[in-house]
């Protein structure tokens, strides 16, 4: 990949941004060196790695490399016999701990994150090294007493010797016969030895060794002869302690050196895993998405054929320049490689032509580096063998011959190297020389690139190139738009329309006298003036059509939202109607049962009497009435489960009359009390069908028991489009709780695509919800990036 072109595109700034998300120096170095690959399999592997890391962060945000350090140099030095300082050994311990944690958390997740888990599985935990370093070093990197019995003994003796020395000095300074010779009755330290402050005029009154003198010369800091031996003994013990600490550090260093190869490999793996996580964080930061891979073969259609934008090998919908402010940058739609392989972008200076070229080049480079790109759903990019760019940063109209020579030298090299799998970006092609010659040269250059098969985007302000693009097969016009009312660029890119200079309109808005304008217009040929007028009319018609399409799309989305809302409301009404009707029928059945019981008692009492026949007729009439009380048609009863024995309190049961599942709360002879979510119902025991034993209860943090499957379903979809961001968290949490209690295994959260704000809020909220097992973006048949599919925790 051409380094000059990537520098021209400011690709190193992308790597600089990426490096800010890396956790330690090893991964930061990998980020700075992340160069685009030209191998299709490698590009796919890199993209999958980034996608896996992004999914990993969404479901397990706590995974990171912690406080790892690049300890490879320290490990190598230790392998050569060097004794490492305690600070280096502590960094080794922290790094190996991070590696072990990544190994434990990530290696078992091969089914979900195969590439990341494979890399994590290569880590060697090195528990014996971690345990020994942790035993000997504290959190500040100091060697602890327990590192060896000898060190513990020496430190006890050092403490005892110091206390004995200080006690002797305290007694000395508190003696009235000594205190009068002192500046202060204190014990202090000079040159590592404990001393007392003697007034200089009393030199010799207290026998001792002068260790220091005050800056004023008024005080001598002397070590009394009575404490010299105690001081010496204290120092000897400290020296012994130092040598024991050094011995321990040498032993620990040898342990590290013996595992140097594994430590170096672990740091490499940590760096690669952290780079993957950094790419995922960067994807979130730029609202990135993976581009779909397309075949590096073009054109894919005959000249002048109508090709859908999303069918082109290069298709970048709503593409945004990643280095510009996401809140203000204007997205562009770019597609190329179908019927046309060259795009000529024209329009005014500062209108966005250069930004458009850089956006395409940067996104192609990012894609081949394994980075997600800031573009809309469905973006497609091939893997280019090379990206060639000649883009000048100067926007001045005063371009010298030397500038032209510089650009031409660069273009000559591009022509030599470009091929059928190349992406070529040329800014202001042919500029810097005579306009007539420059335009002719530009056409010849484009024709050459067309013949070489390179996918080419170039910008120009030459009118001749607009005509050339109209008349040449495989070449397409495009333009950046300019608002003459505000005298500012809109930065929108329109493919199929050449740009206009708008020189007269801009001059008029800026106050150029009308007479000068009229004279200028008169100097323009009738043919050019007519073409400009025709172009303006085409542009106006194109804008009107775009506005109508946008309005139609908005109306269509509004209708879809209303239709979905109506379906949901109708479903709720139907459910309420069915429950009310079923409850009324059940109540009527109970009243019939009570009346039947009374009639049977009456028949027994009036047996063999004339009144028995009317009672029999009344019972027959009741049976006919009950037959007409058909149960409410259920939406679909699950297959009946077989009970291990008689129904028990707590069993899940099915009431066919209500087409509802409930929980058996009480058995009273032949009668039963059943809980149906929000109400209780008494019915006959024989009317219940066994559905299963009690579900497992799940306790929340406050020990409240929650039983799933007893709450009416809130529906499988939650529509959030059109809501304000502040409304989403509470609504989403309430919906997830209702869906969980209703026993739903998974649900769809419909947030739309837009700028990705609702999607980000939804996924952050889901990451912190204990009822959510996992979630992922919708696939092509599920709504794509506009939908998040949520799998709820199971209570089984």
Q: Which residues form the domain of 670? A: 634-694
**Claim to verify: residue 389 and residue 495 sit in the same structural domain:** yes
The mean per-residue pLDDT over the stretch 752-762 comes to: 83
780: Cβ–Cβ under 8 A, 6 or more apart, which residues? none
In a domain? residue 204? yes
Instruction: Answer for the pair 144, 158: CB distance below 8 angstroms, yes or no.
Output: no
DSSP secondary structure letters along 7-58: HHTTHHHHHHHHHTT--SHHHHHHHHT-PPP--HHHHHHHHHHHHHHHHHHH
pLDDT at 273 over 50: yes
Q: What does pLDDT average to over the chain?
A: 85
| pLDDT band, very low/low/confident/very high, at 1 (cuts 50, 70, 90) | confident
Question: Is pLDDT larger for residue 5 or for residue 737?
Answer: 5
Helix segments in 606-680, DSSP class H: 612-628
- CA pair distance 583, 447, nearest whole angstrom: 80
In a domain? residue 65? yes
Instruction: Answer for the pair 203, 220: CB distance below 8 angstroms, yes or no.
Output: yes
**Claim to verify: residue 674 and residue 648 sit in the same structural domain:** yes
| pLDDT band, very low/low/confident/very high, at 398 (cuts 50, 70, 90) | very low
Instruction: Answer for the pair 260, 75: CB distance below 8 angstroms, yes or no.
Output: yes
**Claim to verify: residue 311 and residue 163 sit in the same structural domain:** no
Instruction: Answer for the pair 683, 528: CB distance below 8 angstroms, yes or no.
Output: no
**Claim to verify: residue 736 and residue 670 sit in the same structural domain:** no
Per-residue pLDDT, 623: 66
Least confident of 67-81, 242-256, 475-489, 755-769: 475-489
**Claim to verify: residue 325 and residue 460 sit in the same structural domain:** yes
Per-residue pLDDT, 521: 78
In a domain? residue 560? no
Per-residue pLDDT, 611: 60
**Claim to verify: residue 659 and residue 756 sit in the same structural domain:** no
Q: What is the token pair recorded at 151?
A: 């060190």
**Claim to verify: residue 340 and residue 464 sit in the same structural domain:** yes
Least confident of 13-22, 449-458, 726-735: 726-735
With CA atoms as reference, report the closest residue to 761 among 330, 769, 784: 769
pLDDT tens-digit readout, 115-155:
999 999 999 999 999 999 999 999 999 999 999 999 999 99
User: What CATH number has the domain bearing residue 179?
Assistant: 1.10.1420.10
Of 226, 251, 276, the one marking the end of a domain is 251
Per-residue pLDDT, 395: 38
In a domain? residue 552? no
Instruction: Answer for the pair 23, 274: CB distance below 8 angstroms, yes or no.
Output: yes
**Claim to verify: residue 239 and residue 263 sit in the same structural domain:** no
Helix (H, G, I), strand (E, B) or coil at 87: helix
Instruction: Answer for the pair 662, 653: CB distance below 8 angstroms, yes or no.
Output: yes
Please write down the long-range contacts of 324-333, taking CB distance under 8 Å and 24 or more positions apart. Answer: 324/355, 326/286, 326/287, 326/374, 329/491, 330/490, 330/491, 330/492, 331/376, 332/356, 332/359, 332/491, 332/492, 332/493, 333/309, 333/493, 333/495
CB atoms within 10 A of CB 651: 21
The DSSP code for 420 is T
- CA pair distance 731, 745, nearest whole angstrom: 19
In a domain? residue 23? yes
**Max Cα-Cα span within the chain:** 144
Q: Which residues pair with 206 in a beta bridge?
A: none
Of 477, 505, 523, the one marking the end of a domain is 523
User: What CATH number has the domain bearing residue 377?
Assistant: 3.40.50.300
- CA pair distance 196, 198, nearest whole angstrom: 6
In a domain? residue 628? no
pLDDT at 506 over 80: no
Q: What is the token pair recorded at 446?
A: 């484009």
pLDDT at 599 over 60: yes
The mean per-residue pLDDT over the stretch 104-113 comes to: 94
Instruction: Answer for the pair 391, 411: CB distance below 8 angstroms, yes or no.
Output: no
Helix segments in 107-202, DSSP class H: 114-121, 127-136, 149-174, 176-179
**Claim to verify: residue 157 and residue 79 sit in the same structural domain:** no
Q: What is the token pair recorded at 127?
A: 């528990």
In a domain? residue 75? yes
**Claim to verify: residue 646 and residue 727 sit in the same structural domain:** no
- CA pair distance 501, 535, nearest whole angstrom: 11
User: What CATH number has the domain bearing residue 720?
Assistant: 3.30.1370.110
Of 251, 277, 304, the one marking the end of a domain is 251
pLDDT tens-digit readout, 65-74:
888 999 999 9
In a domain? residue 191? yes
User: How large a percentage of the chain has pLDDT more than 90?
Assistant: 51
Least confident of 260-269, 610-619, 650-659, 697-706: 697-706
Question: Is pLDDT larger for residue 60 or for residue 278?
Answer: 278
Total domains in the fold of the chain: 5
The mean per-residue pLDDT over the stretch 563-592 comes to: 70
User: What CATH number has the domain bearing residue 641?
Assistant: 2.30.30.30
User: What CATH number has the domain bearing residue 15?
Assistant: 1.10.1420
**Claim to verify: residue 687 and residue 735 sit in the same structural domain:** no
- CA pair distance 402, 397, nearest whole angstrom: 14
- CA pair distance 348, 358, nearest whole angstrom: 17
**Claim to verify: residue 275 and residue 315 sit in the same structural domain:** no
The mean per-residue pLDDT over the stretch 305-319 comes to: 93
pLDDT tens-digit readout, 704-745:
344 444 455 677 788 887 778 888 888 898 888 888 877 777
pLDDT tens-digit readout, 624-642:
666 665 554 444 444 455 5
């Amino acid at each position: 990949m051409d380094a000059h072109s990537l520098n021209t595109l400011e690709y190193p700034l992308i790597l600089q941004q990426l490096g800010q998300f890396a956790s330690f120096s090893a991964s930061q170095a990998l980020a700075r060196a992340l160069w685009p690959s030209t191998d299709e399999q490698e590009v796919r592997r890199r993209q999958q790695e980034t996608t896996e890391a992004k999914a990993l962060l969404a479901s397990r945000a706590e995974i990171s490399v912690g406080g790892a350090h690049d300890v490879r140099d320290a490990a190598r030095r230790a392998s050569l016999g060097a004794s490492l300082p305690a600070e280096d050994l502590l960094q080794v311990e922290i790094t190996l701990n991070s590696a072990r944690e990544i190994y434990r958390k990530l290696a078992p997740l091969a089914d979900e994150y195969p590439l990341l888990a494979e890399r994590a599985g290569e880590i060697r935990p090195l528990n014996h090294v971690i345990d020994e370093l942790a035993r000997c070093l504290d959190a500040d990197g100091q060697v602890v007493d327990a590192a060896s019995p000898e060190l513990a003994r020496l430190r006890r003796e050092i403490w005892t010797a110091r206390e004995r020395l200080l006690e002797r000095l305290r007694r000395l300074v508190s003696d009235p016969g000594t205190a009068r010779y002192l500046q202060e009755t204190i014990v202090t330290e000079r040159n590592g030895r404990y001393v007392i402050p003697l007034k200089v005029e009393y030199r010799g009154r207290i026998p001792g060794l002068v260790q220091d003198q005050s800056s004023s010369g008024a005080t001598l800091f002397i070590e009394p002869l009575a404490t010299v031996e105690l001081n010496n003994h204290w120092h000897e013990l400290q020296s012994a302690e130092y040598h024991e600490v050094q011995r321990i550090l040498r032993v620990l260093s040898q342990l590290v050196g013996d595992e140097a190869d594994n430590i170096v490999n672990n740091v490499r793996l940590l760096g690669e895993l952290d780079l993957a996580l950094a790419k995922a964080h960067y994807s979130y930061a730029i609202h990135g998405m993976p581009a779909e891979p397309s075949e590096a073969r073009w054109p894919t259609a005959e000249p002048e054929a109508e090709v859908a934008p999303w069918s082109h090998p290069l298709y970048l919908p709503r593409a945004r320049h990643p280095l510009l402010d996401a809140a203000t940058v204007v997205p562009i739609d770019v597609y190329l490689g179908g019927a046309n392989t060259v795009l000529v972008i024209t329009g005014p200076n500062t209108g966005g032509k250069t930004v458009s070229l850089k956006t395409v080049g940067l996104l192609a480079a990012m894609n081949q580096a394994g980075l997600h790109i800031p573009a809309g759903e469905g973006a497609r990019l091939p893997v280019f063998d090379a990206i060639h760019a000649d883009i000048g940063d100067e926007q001045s109209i005063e371009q010298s011959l030397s500038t032209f020579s510089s650009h031409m030298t660069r273009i000559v090299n591009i022509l030599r190297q470009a091929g059928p799998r190349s992406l070529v970006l040329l800014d202001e092609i042919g500029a810097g020389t005579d306009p007539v010659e420059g335009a002719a040269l530009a056409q010849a250059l484009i024709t050459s690139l067309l013949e070489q098969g390179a996918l080419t985007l170039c910008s120009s302000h030459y009118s001749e190139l607009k005509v050339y693009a109209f008349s040449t097969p495989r070449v397409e016009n495009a333009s950046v738009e300019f608002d003459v009312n505000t005298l500012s660029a809109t930065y929108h890119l329109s493919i199929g329309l050449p740009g206009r200079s708008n020189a007269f309109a801009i001059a008029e808005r800026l106050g150029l006298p009308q007479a000068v304008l009229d004279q200028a217009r008169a100097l323009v040929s009738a043919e050019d003036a007519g073409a400009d007028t025709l172009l303006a009319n085409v542009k106006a018609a194109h804008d009107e059509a775009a506005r109508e399409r946008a309005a139609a799309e908005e109306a269509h989305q509004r209708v879809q939202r209303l239709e979905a809302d109506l379906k949901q409301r109708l479903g709720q009404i139907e459910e309420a109607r069915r429950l009310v009707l079923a409850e009324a029928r059940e109540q009527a059945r109970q009243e019939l049962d009570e009346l039947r019981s009374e009639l049977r008692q009456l028949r027994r009492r009036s047996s063999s009497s004339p009144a028995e026949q009317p009672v029999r007729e009344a019972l027959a009439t009741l049976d006919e009435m009950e037959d007409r009380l058909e149960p409410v048609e259920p939406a679909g009863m699950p297959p009946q489960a077989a009970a291990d024995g008689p129904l028990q309190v707590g069993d899940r049961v099915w009431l066919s009359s209500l087409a509802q599942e409930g929980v058996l709360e009480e058995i009273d002879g032949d009668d039963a009390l059943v809980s149906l979510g929000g109400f209780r119902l008494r019915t006959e025991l024989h009317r219940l069908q066994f559905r299963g034993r009690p579900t497992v209860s799940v306790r929340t943090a406050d020990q409240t028991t929650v039983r799933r499957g007893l709450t009416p379903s809130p529906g499988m979809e939650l529509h959030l489009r059109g809501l304000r961001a502040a409304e989403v968290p509470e609504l989403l949490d309430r919906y997830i709780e209702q869906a969980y209690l209703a026993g739903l295994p998974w649900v769809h959260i419909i947030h739309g695509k837009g700028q990705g704000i609702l999607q980000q809020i939804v996924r952050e909220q889901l990451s912190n919800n204990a009822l959510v097992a996992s979630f992922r973006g919708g696939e092509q048949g599920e709504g794509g990036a506009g939908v998040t599919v949520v799998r709820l925790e199971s209570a089984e």
